[in-house]
Structures are given as structure tokens and as C-alpha cells.
Chains A and B, each alone.
Chain A
Amino acid sequence: MLENTVVIGIGNDHRGDDAFGLLTVRNIKKIISNKVCCYEHSSDATGLISLWQKEKVVFLIDAIYSKDPCGTIYCLDLKKEILPNEWFYSTHSFNIAQVIELAQILDQMPKKILLYGVVGKNFEIGEKISPKVFQAIETLTTEIIKDINSF
């Protein structure tokens, strides 16, 4: 078990591409649940702080809004790079970029925190996940497990 390593998939199963983070973390859990803590998160993002504040390494996975082609994968080190606010749509008062800012102010950032984002195009309720976003699940699962094992 890699103590203090946590993987958090963010999203909503019923909003098309927004399911990406949840599906990916479930995939990771199937393969290496014995090694890391895996969480699914679907509510206001302030709850994320309680999931990571004592952890040393955090992997966040979410679908993002961007003009880039659907399925484009981003990986950002949030201790070094600024998270674009416009990447996130949240119906729940706080998005991830705002919560990262709050965690920085409160000195509650983990030692290391990486965001893996995939550009989605369809976030409507009841829609299916886009094929290119679906393909990214396997790609990122492999990539994240590789990264986890490298720590």
C-alpha cells in the first residue's frame, strides 16, 4: 500500500463526458485498489480538501471544458502551475480551481497534487460519454498507474 497516496475521480455519471473522472478512478481501483485510496467525488468541491489534506500525493481526474479537440489530455502539477478557472463547470458553487486557491490560502495543499484532465464536449444530463473521452479512460488509467508506481 502506498500510504498517503490518493486518487480522486470527479464528475457525474449522468452528465455525458462528466462521467470521465468517475469511470477512470473505478478502472484504476480495479487494478491497484490494494495500493492506493481511490475516491469518487460528485458534490461541491470544498469536500475535496477533507479528502487530501493529510495526504502526501494526490491525483485528481476530471473532464474539462476547453476549445481544444475533444479527448485532449492535460496533466498539470498544481503546486507549480495555475489551474484555468474556465476549464471547469460546476453546478455546485465551487469548482476545482477555486478550491485549489482556497486550499493554498488555508495552507491545506498536499505535498504533491496532479490534475489529469480530458477535454469533453457533451455535458448534458442523460447523454452518453463521447467516444474520444471514453478512449482516454484506458490511456489515462495506464498513465496514472505508471505515475503512481514511480513515486
Chain B
Amino acid sequence: MTSKTIKVDYLARVEGEGGLYIKVKDEKVTEVKLKIFEPPRFFEAFLRGRNFTEVPDITARICGICPVAYQMSAVHAMENALGVRVDGQLRELRRLLYCGEWIESHTLHVYMLHAPDFLGYQSSIHMAKDFPDIVKQGLELKKAGNEIVRVVGGREIHPINVRVGGFYKIPSKKDLLVLAEKLKRARDLALETVKWVAKFNFPDFTQDYLFVSLAHENEYPFNEGRIVSSNGLNIDIKEYEDYFVEEHVKHSNALHSQMKTGENYFVGPLARYSLNFDKLSPLTKETALDIGLSKTCKNPFQSIIIRSLEILYALDEALRIINSYETPEQPAIKLEIKSSKGYGATEAPRGMIYHHYKIDDDGLVLEAKIVPPTSQNQKTIERDLWNFVPDRLDLPLDELTWQCEQAIRNYDPCISCATHYLKLTLDKE
């Protein structure tokens, strides 16, 4: 009898703190645990009793990487509760803000966290010694996202300009035209990024995933849409809890999400791309096809290409919004407070994020539920490892461990959001 343990006590280049344990016995994987040991953060409890107007800014503090996703999901849920809809140029500005967050977050992952895996470097700091110009390019591209968030959100990190009903202050056309000049240069860099990552070597690891994302009639999804899946699900956001469920598992401080039918599912760039390819901009579609990608992608290692394409899309979309922008007359619409429930879901860079709130007549929060993308992907990450390891058991342990970590980083897991984290153990008997 032979056994092997793959153990990573502390996973590098992921956001938050977690580990991985894999046990192999008689050449078969017998145990896979994505361990998230960052303490639970009890944000939902923290929100109870707070005024509904405070929720977007408080939830934005859950994550320094994707604060816009939290803000947007919260404002949509609150507006749903109050029976109002933000439309026109205010809606476009929200979409522009989301473009900024996708550019920031995806660029951080592509250049600083994921590319070192493909180029054989321990970290981007090591990579920077050999490829300083590449890393500088990544920082310049990320800065373009920061600029959008600064102009629309009021500052680069944790934007303060978003409120239920709209914004506190709206940018002028002139502000946005200055921004557009920087974004044009960034779009060229994004195109170069796609071509660069497309040349990486990708393990042959195509999986049969159940993809879930938002889908909108006319646009690639950021702020709204229906929840759809690759097996035909098509539901309103308020029906989310009728179809999806969270459960506690012993080895993780983050709840695991699954379909009520028991299936694990996949949210994030691969799901969005595969379910919404036709809604990408012409340049993004053309670029994807030019590099040989098909309209669906089921190899998670190629997620770095999809993220790069989504950066390109976000820049294209940002420029489209700016070109047609007309300054709205009011920064926000009027609200009437009432006791009610509201539901919101948007597409964070890592995947769909769901919020649900119940407020009372004074607008105070009675109930809050937040389901971030990493919680939803945990089961699928474990499933990937169950399938990934058996064909690679002949690899030296350090090489196998490295590849397992890379398989986790495919998901750009945000453990702080999921608890919200990750460390790896491979146990081979």
C-alpha cells in the first residue's frame, strides 16, 4: 500500500488565508479539503440595526479588491426593496465604475498573482527581476482602472460616491473626456496582454462545469440581469435562494454553496464568457477568436486569458459609456422608505455576488445575507483537484504541489470575502 500527502499550509498569491490538504492512497485521491481558516467575519450580523443608507459603504469594506461589487449589489438590493430603479446616465455611470473595478482586480490577478505560475516564478517580485517592463505594464494597466474608480467613485479605493438611488456627486463630461485619453492607451495595453497570456502553456484540463452567471438581454453582465446556467436555469435574482443553498463543512470557515439539487457550480470569468460571449464588444470577440479561443472555455487554467479579454472588454465598454455620456440632471433619485425585502446580484470580477436585505419602516436592517463568489466556487475548486491530481501522481511532490496551488489560483479566490480564506497539504499513503 502506498500513500502520499500534498500539504500546503499557506497558499501564496491568493487573497486572504487558507490551505489545502489532499490525501492519496493506492494511487487514488481519497480526500480533498480546501481549508479556509481565516476567522468568520460576521458581517451580516454587523449590519443588523444599521440604516439602509450605510450598507453600501460598510459592505464595501469586506474586500479591498472588489468594493464596487459589494456596493453595487447592496444598492441594487436596497433599491429593489424600495421599489425604485436607477436608469439612464446614472445607470451608465454605475456600469463605468464597475469597468474600473474589473480592470483593477483582473490586472492584479493576471500580472501579479497568476502569470508567475506560467512563467515559473515564485512571485511577481521574482518575475519583476527578469521582466521589469512586463510588470510595469501591468501596473500601468491597473492604474487605468484606479483612475476610473477615482473619477466616478470619488477615490481610487473604497469609493465613497455611491449611494442608494444614485451618486452623491456626478462627474462632468470634461472629467470623463480627460479619463478617456488614458483609457485609450490602456486598451492598447490590454490587447497586448491578451496576446501575451495566450502564448502561455496550459495543462490539458477541460472539465464539464455547470456555469452560472448573470445574463442581460443587451449587454455583457455587470450590474443586472437574470441568473442563468449552462443547463438551462433562467431565474429572477429574487429566486436565488429557491435554487441555491449554503452549507457548513467542518474544514472551512466559509460556507459552501451548491444547487439545491446537490450539484456544485462555477461562477466567474469562464462562466460569464461562456454564457455571454455574444454580448462582448466586437473588438473583444474578434480578439478571442483570433487567438484561437472558442465561444466557450472549460479549461480553468485558461482563465488568465478570459480575465485579459474581460479587461479589454471593460476598457472598450468604458470608452463607449464616456463617448455617449451626458451629465444627468440629478445625482440621485428620490427614495421613500418602507418596510420591505430586497434582492440584488451583480458580477464581481470573481463571479456573481448575491445580497438580500430586509429593512423596517425606519430603513433599519433587520436581516442581511451576502453570498460572495469564492463561497460559491469552493466545491468546484475541490472537485477540480479530485480530477486534476490522479493524472499527475508521477510528478515529484513539489511539482505536484505547485500545480495544485496553481489550480486553486485559477479561481482568483478571495478568501477574505468568503469568510472569508487558504493553506495545501497532499497526503499520499
Contact = CB atoms under 8 A, between A and B. Distances in A.
Interface of A: 12-14, 39-44, 46-47, 49-50, 91-94, 98, 101-102, 105-108, 124-126
Interface stretch (B136-144, B287-295, B355-363, B396-404): B136-144
Contacts of B146: 47, 50
Contacts of A98: 123, 125
A102 B123 CA distance: 10
A49 B14 CA distance: 20
B271 to A, nearest CB: 23
B124 A125 contact: no
Interface in B372-429: 415-416, 421
A46 B139 contact: yes
Contacts of A92: 15, 64-65, 416
A40 B150 CA distance: 12
A50 B143 contact: yes
Interface string B142-154: 1100100000000
Interface string B264-294: 0000000000000000000000000000000
Nearest to B46: A126
Contacts of B14: 93
A105 B125 contact: yes
Given A42-B64, A43-B157, A105 B15 contact: no
B162 interface: no
B139 A44 contact: no
B41 A44 contact: no
A42 B416 CA distance: 14
B64 A91 contact: yes
B108 A44 contact: yes
24 contacts: A12-B64, A14-B61, A40-B158, A44-B15, A44-B65, A47-B142, A47-B157, A50-B142, A50-B143, A91-B421, A92-B15, A92-B65, A93-B13, A93-B15, A93-B108, A93-B112, A98-B123, A98-B125, A102-B125, A105-B132, A106-B139, A125-B41, A125-B42, A125-B43
A46 B143 CA distance: 10
B135 A102 contact: yes
B17 A46 contact: no
Nearest to A98: B125
A43 B65 contact: yes
Nearest to B57: A13
Nearest to A92: B64
Main SS at interface, chain A? loop
Contact of A47 (B123, B132, B156, B415): B156
Contact of A91 (B15, B142, B143): B15
Contacts of A126: 42, 46
A13 B58 CA distance: 10
B108 A40 contact: no
B334 interface: no
A43 B158 contact: yes
B64 A105 contact: no
B157 A93 contact: no
Contacts of A125: 41-43, 46
Contact of A105 (B13, B39, B129): B129
Contacts of B15: 44, 91-93
Contacts of B108: 44, 46, 93
Given A41-B157, A43-B157, A47-B146, A106 B135 contact: yes
A35 B112 CA distance: 34
B319 interface: no
Query: Can you list the 7 inter-chain pairs with the closest CB atoms, starting with the nearest?
Result: A43-B64, A43-B157, A91-B416, A105-B128, A50-B143, A125-B41, A14-B61
Interface in B29-71: 38-39, 41-43, 46, 58, 61, 64-65, 67
Contacts of A50: 139, 142-143, 146
A143 B42 CA distance: 37
Contacts of A41: 157
B58 A14 contact: yes
A11 B143 CA distance: 20
A46 B112 contact: yes
A39 B64 CA distance: 15
A102 B128 contact: yes
Interface string B105-132: 0001000110000000001110011001
B46 A106 contact: no
Interface string B1-37: 0000000000001111100000000000000000000
A46 B138 CA distance: 10
A49 B124 CA distance: 15
Nearest to B145: A47
A29 B17 CA distance: 34
A14 B112 CA distance: 27
Contacts of B135: 102, 106
